C-alpha cells in the first residue's frame, strides 16, 4: 500500500514538473499547441474548394467547321476546364503554355469533320501538364467527356438516319447505363482524401519534436532537475515516465478535440465513424508516440537537434504511411521499417474507422499492434531514463 501511495506521489510530481516545463518553454509550447492548430487549418483551407475546376486551356482548331466549333464549345462547358484562348497554330498555343497562361492544349485536326462524314475514325490530341497530376486529370477528363458526348450524338444521328426511332437509337448507342457512386468520399475531393491522414501525422510529428525539445533542453543544461530528480528516477522510473506522459497526453487530447472534431466539422470531411471508437484507437497511439518521444529525447543533447532530426523525418513518416503512395507498391523492407512510427499503423486504421465507418473488430490487428507498441516504447523510455540518471550519478 505504501508503494502505491509513493508511486502516485511520484506520478503527480512528475506530471506537475513536466507541465511546468512545457508551459515555461515558449518554443516547445509553440510546437505542441500552436503548430498542431495552425498546420491543419492552413492545409485544409488550401483544399477548401475540394475539386479543381476551370483549368485554363488553349484549343487549337485547325478544322474551322461547325463540328469542330461544337466540340470546342462542349469542352468549354465542362466544369473541369475553361477555354482561355483559341489559337490558330500549335506553336502559338505552346507559347501560351510556357508563359503559364494555360495548363493544357487540345488540338483538333484539319480533317476532323471530313473524317466524321466519311465514317472514318479521327483523333483529338490532348497535351496535358502531367507535372501536376490534378491538372492533368481534369484536362484529360474534360476532353474525354466532351469528345465522348459528341461521338455519342453522331452515332445516334446515324442510327436515326438508318430508320430507328430516337429511343432505339439511344439504346443502340448506349445499351448499358452504368451508375457511378463515390464511396466514402462523395465529392471525390483531394482534400477530403488526404487531410484526415495528414492531421494524424501532424499530431505525431509535432508531439515528437516538442518532447525532443524539452528533453534536449535538459541534456543541454546538464541539470538533473530538468530530467527529473535523480532519486525519483532511481526509486521509481516507471512512475516518473507515467507522470511525464500524462502531461503530454493532456495537451494531446485538447489538440485532438480541436483537430479531429472541430476542424472535421468545419471543413466537412467524411465522417461515418463512432467517435467513441475513434478515441479508443487514438489513446494507445498518443501514448505510443509520447513514449517514443521520451526515448528519443535521451539521444538529443541539444534542443535544436529535435527540430533538425524529427522535422527531417516528417516527410518520410508521411510517405511511408501509405497516404501519398500505396503500401502495396512499396518495398517490403521499407514498409516493415515504417512500423517504427505509430502513424504507420494508425493512419489506415483511422481512415477505415472514421471514413468507412467500420467497427473496432475490423481494425483489430492495428489496435493490438498499437497497444503492444505502446508498452514496448514505455519500457524503452523507462530504461533509457534510468540509464541516463546512473550515468550522471557516476559523473
Map grid coordinates 497526453 to a residue. Answer: 249
Residues in the chain: 395
Which pLDDT value is given to residue 355? Answer: 87
Task: Order across the sheet with 55-61: list the strands.
Answer: 81-87, 55-61, 104-108, 125-128
pLDDT tens-place string over residues 318-352: 888 877 778 878 888 888 888 999 999 999 999 99
> Whole-angstrom Cα distance, residue 188 to residue 79?
14
Tell me if residue 84 falls in helix, strand or coil: strand
How would you classify residue 325: left for phi > 0, otherwise alpha for psi between -120 and 50, otherwise beta? beta
Tell me if residue 267 falls in helix, strand or coil: helix
| Domain range 55-173, its CATH number among 3.10.20.30, 3.40.1710.10, 3.30.70.260, 3.90.1150.10 | 3.40.1710.10
> Whole-angstrom Cα distance, residue 374 to residue 159?
68
Which pLDDT value is given to residue 237? Answer: 76
The DSSP line for 14-70 is: HHHHHHHHHHH-HHHHIIIIIIHHHHHHHHHHHTTT-S---EEEEEEESS-SHHHHH
Which pLDDT value is given to residue 392? Answer: 63
Most distant CA pair in the chain: distance in Å?
Answer: 100
By mean pLDDT, which of 161-175, 219-233, 351-365 is the weakest?
219-233
pLDDT tens-place string over residues 70-103: 888 999 888 888 888 888 888 888 888 998 889 8
Which pLDDT value is given to residue 251? Answer: 93
By mean pLDDT, which of 26-35, 204-213, 386-395 is the weakest?
386-395
Of residues 278 and 315, the one with the higher pLDDT is 278
Confidence tier at 221 by pLDDT (50, 70, 90): low
Confidence tier at 391 by pLDDT (50, 70, 90): low
- Is the pLDDT assigned to residue 2 strictly greater than 70? no
Per-residue pLDDT, averaged over 143-163, amounts to 80
Per-residue pLDDT, averaged over 357-362, amounts to 89
Question: What is the bridge-based pairing of β-strands 55-61 and 81-87?
Answer: parallel
Domains of the chain, by residue range, sit at 2-48+190-394, 55-173
- Is the pLDDT assigned to residue 288 strictly greater than 90? yes
Which pLDDT value is given to residue 1? Answer: 60
Tell me if residue 246 falls in helix, strand or coil: helix
- Is the pLDDT assigned to residue 4 strictly greater than 90? no
- pTM, entire model: 0.80
Residue in 62, 320, 306, 360 with CA at minimum distance from that of residue 201: 320
Amino acid at each position: 500500500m505504501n508503494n502505491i501511495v509513493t508511486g502516485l506521489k511520484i506520478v503527480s510530481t512528475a506530471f506537475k514538473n513536466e507541465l511546468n516545463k512545457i508551459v515555461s518553454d515558449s518554443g516547445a509550447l509553440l510546437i505542441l499547441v500552436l503548430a498542431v492548430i495552425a498546420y491543419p487549418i492552413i492545409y485544409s483551407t488550401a483544399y477548401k474548394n475540394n475539386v479543381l475546376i476551370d483549368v485554363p486551356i488553349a484549343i487549337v482548331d485547325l478544322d474551322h467547321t461547325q463540328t469542330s466549333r461544337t466540340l470546342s464549345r462542349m469542352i468549354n462547358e465542362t466544369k473541369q476546364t475553361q477555354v482561355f484562348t483559341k489559337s490558330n497554330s500549335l506553336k502559338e498555343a505552346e507559347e501560351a503554355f510556357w508563359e503559364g497562361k494555360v495548363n493544357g492544349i487540345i488540338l483538333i485536326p484539319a480533317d476532323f469533320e471530313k473524317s466524321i462524314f466519311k465514317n472514318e475514325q479521327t483523333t483529338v490530341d490532348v497535351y496535358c501538364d502531367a507535372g501536376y497530376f490534378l491538372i492533368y486529370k481534369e484536362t484529360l477528363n474534360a476532353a474525354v467527356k466532351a469528345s465522348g458526348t459528341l461521338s455519342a450524338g453522331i452515332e445516334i444521328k446515324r442510327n436515326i438516319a438508318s430508320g430507328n426511332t430516337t429511343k432505339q437509337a439511344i439504346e443502340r448507342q448506349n445499351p448499358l447505363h452504368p451508375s457511378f457512386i463515390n464511396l466514402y468520399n462523395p465529392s471525390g475531393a483531394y482534400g477530403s482524401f488526404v487531410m484526415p491522414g495528414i492531421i494524424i501525422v501532424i499530431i505525431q510529428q509535432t508531439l515528437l519534436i516538442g518532447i525532443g525539445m524539452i528533453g534536449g533542453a535538459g541534456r543541454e543544461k546538464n541539470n538533473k532537475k530538468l530530467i527529473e530528480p535523480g532519486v525519483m528516477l532511481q526509486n521509481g522510473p516507471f512512475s516518473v515516465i507515467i507522470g511525464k506522459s500524462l502531461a503530454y497526453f493532456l495537451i494531446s487530447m485538447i489538440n485532438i478535440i480541436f483537430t479531429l472534431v472541430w476542424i472535421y466539422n468545419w471543413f466537412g470531411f467524411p465522417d461515418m465513424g463512432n467517435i467513441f471508437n475513434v478515441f479508443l484507437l487514438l489513446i494507445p497511439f498518443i501514448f505510443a508516440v509520447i513514449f517514443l518521444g521520451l526515448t528519443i529525447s535521451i539521444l538529443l543533447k541539444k534542443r535544436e537537434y529535435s527540430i533538425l532530426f524529427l522535422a527531417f523525418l516528417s516527410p518520410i513518416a508521411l510517405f511511408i504511411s501509405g497516404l501519398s503512395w500505396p503500401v502495396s507498391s512499396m518495398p517490403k523492407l521499407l514498409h516493415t521499417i515504417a512500423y517504427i512510427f505509430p502513424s504507420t499503423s494508425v493512419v489506415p486504421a483511422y481512415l477505415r474507422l472514421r471514413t468507412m465507418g467500420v467497427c473496432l473488430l475490423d481494425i483489430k490487428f492495428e489496435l493490438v499492434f498499437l497497444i503492444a507498441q505502446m508498452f514496448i516504447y514505455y519500457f524503452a523510455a523507462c530504461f533509457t531514463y534510468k540509464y541516463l540518471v546512473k550515468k550522471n550519478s557516476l559523473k
